[in-house]
Structure 1
């Protein structure tokens, strides 16, 4: 069969249309007009993206959920029942921002827990009552480092070294520097308690004295105030229990006496001390 140039052109056009999926119309070699020809070319399908559960069934990572991005809870530094120097500093700083009014005592009690909860709630932190690292850093940023007197406002301060005059015999060794009283026998400390002294107008005398009178239920005739477990050593000045010291700490002062805030401790001390025992009041 002979093919004219026009026929060959139409054939080439037809092949190109088949490759592209086009519609072709025109005239053949006989000069006649032909109907349109539609060539369907199958399209390559694209596979759907794999779902998170797809993959190798033996792969332990296949189908696993994405890792959690939630932050781990902050480490707890102190909570109720704890004690020590860190708790004492926490309480001192809470006092600075008026969330705690008692202490510092060095013991994480119910009042401390309540103060921490209040501080946390005010700043949008979880109200756990436990001092975690986040709470501690926030509190430190708002306060200054407490000094010695702030830390030991309610007593409990470590005693300094005893005065050399306290190292022999039976002695009530009283330090104004550390605000402590040591009960010592032949250089050995048996008891240490926190004490408070007189004000500027009525200072506690310093020096070496001796206990000359003990009065269990004494009441001051000058100030009409109770002085239980009184052990007099210089005129009207005595070592005795003070309810005011127990309640207010160093916010108050005596009229010259040496106040003790721990009633159980001074009751035990009163039972041991004898008339004639030495009293040393020193810086």
Structure 2
């Protein structure tokens, strides 16, 4: 034992009680001022933080960009519950692209849409979405939100390539090497497209369809040998406007049936075009003797 010089002896090495209390009080005050006090935990050692719940959709392949409501804020006010967040809007009127095609193809599968797919979220698509939503007790917004998309996906299958491009609009395949010189109608069966090319440059591209397995469109290199603006088939008694003949009775021409039914039908061997304005412009430019290349 040693004397402190102030009365009662204190065990060696114990320090001064009053000084220790004062030091602890000072440190506590400093920690409070600095915001370093311990926070309540959620039971696993982590700090609690406001929870923000949102519903988002997922799609196979490449989904469209999700949208969040304007003015949304993911910070909860202290002492108040976080507001509920509406499902994110994936696609809405005016949107375009491959994902809109998939939406339209799936709506066709459940008989809510009968036109397209076009790849453009038009008024017909909006009405189809409203009908689908109303049938299932969802808000009839006409916009495809995450909940609507998930319900539609659960009822349908992944559309195949030709379901997505039933009415045309698919990307054109790379041109056949035989198309790279001169004036050429370059027809690709694999992508179902026709390129009008001059000296290797693509002037225009359009969707086309071909003959069935019983009346196939011939492949090879040909030349346009006759043009007939108001032609009518003598064999099938069917109109063939803007006909450009290249192999026997086979021609590139406009098809009313293709315009109405898309790839649900087939030609009798001709190369059908569904865009009348496009084939009219093509007919005005093509000359007798221009090359025609039909390849797979």
| TM-score (norm. length: structure 1) | 0.75
Q: Is 1:116 the equivalent of 2:143?
A: no
Moved segments of 4+, more than 4 Å: none
**Per-residue Cα deviation, 1:24-59 (whole angstroms, up to 9, x for no partner):** xxxxxxxxxxxxxxxxxxxxxxxxxxxxxxxxxxxx
Whole-angstrom CA distance in 2 between matches of 1:247 and 1:71: 45
Task: Note the alpha carbon deviations across 1:66-99, whole angstroms, 9 max, x for none.
Answer: 7466522222221122211111010011111221
1:135-154 Cα shifts (integer Å, max 9, x gaps): 11221122222111111111
* Counterpart secondary structure, 2:215: coil
Aligned to 2:201: 188
Q: 1:272 is matched with which residue?
A: 285
Helix, strand or coil for the counterpart of 1:102? coil
Q: Equivalent residue for 2:36?
A: none
- Match of residue 167 from structure 1: 180
1:142-161 alignment to 2 at 5 Å? 142-161=155-174
What is the distance in 2 between the residues matched to 1:161 and 1:65? 60
Show the counterpart of 1:79. Answer: 92
In structure 2, the gaps of 5 or more residues are 1-76
Q: Specify the alignment match of 2:106 in structure 1.
A: 93
d(CA) in 1 for partners of 2:110, 2:259: 23
Q: Which residue of 2 aligns with 1:216?
A: 229
Deviation track 1:111-160 (CA, whole Å, cap 9, x = no partner) reads: 11111111111111100111112111221122222111111111001011
Measure the CA separation in 2 of the matches of 1:103 and 1:157: 12
Q: How far apart, CA to CA, are the structure 1 residues paired with 2:129 and 2:95? A: 14
Structure 2 CA distance for aligned equivalents of residues 153 and 230 of structure 1? 23
Q: Secondary structure at the match of 2:129?
A: helix
Whichever of the two has the greater Rg, that structure is: 1
- Deviation at residue 192 of structure 1 after TM alignment: 0.6
TM-score by length of 2: 0.72
Query: Size of the alignment, in residue pairs?
Result: 220
Which structure dedicates a bigger proportion of its chain to strand?
1
Give the match for residue 51 of structure 1: none
Task: Within 5 Å, give how 1:1-283 maps onto structure 2.
Answer: 67=80, 70-283=83-296
Distance in 2 (CA, whole Å) between partners of 1:142 and 1:269 is 42
